[in-house]
């Protein structure tokens, strides 16, 4: 669901002027694409104490949701890039050490048809699962028109299903075949379960299934959008984002939008639960959009993206919090957008997406940093 939150960010930036980013040793002057303001392009900030030796992997387009292979040698991600001839997100993979994606497109794994999202390596690193709308049509599905009420919405495409493909892009298996939205799948480090979001109950809930698509089990049941789930490193817990409407007006709005295949993502908090759905806990209560959470290697902290610290809707930065909701700490200090953090399996590196160092454009690129506690 990368494209939607980025659109939300850009919409907000079109309304208000962008703040000047902070200086650090390696800077260059550029013109902001939205305001014309002169500002500095940076790849790292002095306050980012947990991130060392940041390296940029992509150079242009929208690149996001980069996730590590089990052996930490590869990354799979989704991208839209006109220079690659791609009009909406498709799935690619690359070696961790690749540094020439600005000139040479990486290997596409998806079909090149429809829209894709949320790719993840399977155990053994010889196949990848991802969600795609290609069975619903070859073209990119349409995005919602701007609403008269001004509310920003995400489309929940009912043609999304989850597929398994090899590294040559051949589809091996269709893992879901149920009417309605099935997407946002990730794999347990134990190599035994997949978690995903589905509309099959009439609401956007979390489900688990075996690696072959069998034994589908619903694990969340409260009204609201539960999605973007990841397993803890020990495979016993899940962390996810959720918008849980409470008041009568919130519930009505949520149901009315969902009936149209839409959700609004501007109010989300972070939750955890056991893999079977038990021991559900709300971790954040910050307001705004708190999303794309991932467990710290210790499984005692969670890294996530949030815009809670501003009233304008941006910037989004990475934050870290204890699993009991204490000791909130800001990790990145970008002036625009940082999201989709994922630790390497050995805990030594963090990959994330950012608008930093994009020469004043709206490009979102992938970055790898060495992590230090």
Query: Would the pLDDT of 36 be above 60?
Result: no
What's the rounded Cα separation, in Å, for the pair 102 and 84? 10
pLDDT score for 146: 84
Read off the tokens for 286: 């910050």
Confidence class for position 3, pLDDT limits 50, 70, 90 = very low
Confidence class for position 4, pLDDT limits 50, 70, 90 = very low
Q: How many CB atoms are located within 10 Å of the residue 236 CB?
A: 13
Query: Would the pLDDT of 40 be above 60?
Result: no
pLDDT score for 6: 52
Confidence class for position 100, pLDDT limits 50, 70, 90 = confident
Query: Would the pLDDT of 233 be above 80?
Result: yes
pLDDT score for 41: 64
pLDDT score for 152: 85
Q: Which residue has the tokens 């269709």?
A: 174
Query: Would the pLDDT of 89 be above 50?
Result: yes
33-45: average pLDDT:
58
Q: Which residues pair with 281 in a beta bridge?
A: 272
pLDDT score for 15: 28
344-373: average pLDDT:
96
Per CATH, is 2-371 categorized as 3.40.50.2300?
no
What is the tens place of the pLDDT at every residue in 46-65?
999 999 999 999 999 999 99
The answer to whether the CB of 131 falls within 8 A of the CB of 184 is yes
Tell me how many degrees the CA angle 2-357-230 measures, rounded to the nearest 5: 30
Query: Would the pLDDT of 2 be above 80?
Result: no
What is the tens place of the pLDDT at every residue in 258-287?
999 999 999 999 999 999 999 999 999 999
- Domain residue ranges in the chain: 2-371
Q: Which residue from 57, 45, 52 is spatially nearest to 21, judged by alpha carbons?
A: 45
Query: Would the pLDDT of 208 be above 90?
Result: yes
Confidence class for position 1, pLDDT limits 50, 70, 90 = low
Query: pTM higher than 0.85 for the full model?
Result: yes
């Amino acid at each position: 669901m990368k494209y939607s939150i980025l659109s939300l960010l850009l919409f907000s930036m079109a309304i208000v002027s962008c703040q000047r980013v902070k200086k650090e040793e390696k800077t260059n002057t550029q013109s902001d694409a939205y305001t014309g303001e002169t500002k500095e392009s940076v790849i790292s900030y002095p306050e980012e104490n947990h991130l060392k030796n940041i390296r940029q992997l992509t150079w242009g387009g929208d690149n996001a949701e980069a996730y590590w292979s089990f052996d930490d040698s590869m990354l799979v991600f989704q991208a839209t890039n006109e220079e690659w001839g791609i009009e909406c997100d498709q799935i690619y993979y690359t070696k961790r050490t690749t540094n020439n994606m600005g000139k040479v497109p990486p290997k596409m794994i998806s079909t090149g048809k429809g829209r894709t999202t949320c790719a993840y390596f399977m155990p053994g690193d010889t196949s990848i699962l991802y969600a795609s709308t290609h069975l619903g049509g070859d073209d990119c599905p349409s995005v919602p028109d701007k609403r008269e009420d001004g509310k920003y919405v995400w489309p929940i495409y009912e043609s999304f299903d989850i597929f398994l493909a090899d590294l040559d892009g051949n589809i091996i298996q269709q893992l879901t075949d149920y009417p309605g939205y099935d997407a946002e799948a990730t794999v347990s480090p134990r190599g035994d379960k997949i978690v995903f979001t589905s509309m099959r109950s009439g609401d956007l809930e979390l489900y688990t299934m075996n690696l072959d698509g069998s034994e589908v089990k619903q694990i969340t049941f409260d009204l609201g959008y539960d999605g973007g789930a990841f397993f803890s490193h020990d495979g016993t817990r899940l962390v996810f984002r959720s918008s849980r409407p409470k008041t009568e007006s919130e519930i009505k709005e949520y149901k009315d939008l969902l009936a149209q295949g839409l959700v609004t993502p501007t109010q989300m908090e972070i939750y955890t639960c056991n893999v079977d759905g038990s021991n559900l806990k709300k971790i954040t209560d910050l307001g705004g959009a708190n999303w794309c959470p991932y467990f710290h290697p210790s499984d005692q902290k969670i890294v996530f993206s949030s815009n809670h610290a501003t009233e304008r809707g941006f910037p989004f930065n990475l934050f870290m919090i204890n699993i009991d909701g204490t000791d909130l700490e800001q990790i990145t200090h970008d002036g625009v957008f940082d999201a989709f953090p994922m630790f390497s399996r050995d805990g030594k590196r963090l990959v994330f997406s950012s608008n930093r160092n994009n020469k004043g454009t709206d490009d979102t690129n992938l970055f790898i940093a060495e992590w230090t506690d």
